[in-house]
Structure 1
């Protein structure tokens, strides 16, 4: 299993927020939900890597990836 990319995480955030579009969330709630989704995606990828006897992404790299994905998604005016 390959390491998750920035695009993988942004895509997961986008799909989740499109699904939740009917909600009347403010920007802070949307960003918190995006963070939750990103963490969930990376947790599933880490579990799959461990089960495949591969090294998961380093926790600091995960945090960086989550931060960059959220900044990229919300910085693009979404």
Structure 2
């Protein structure tokens, strides 16, 4: 698993993962404070893990991210209110 997040407070996001005790579940954490394109996150994830885009699964709450990343070959799921087992 990997994290792909844009946040104006990337330090807070990283701290949150640590406090939850789940940071070690992720092979890579692409958390940027700048407003980069999601494609950059996935290019870095691919470079780090070697996992092909067509074997990745992406959940996001922004349709524009879903559309952009889907064009890379990533299976993308739009979530309205978080990820759950039903999804």
Is the TM value for this pair above 0.5? no
Q: Shorter-chain TM-score: which interval?
A: 0.3 to 0.5
- TM-score, normalization by structure 1: 0.35
- TM-score, normalization by structure 2: 0.33
Q: Say which structure is richer in strand.
A: 2
Relative contact order higher in (CA < 8 Å, ≥ 6 apart): 1
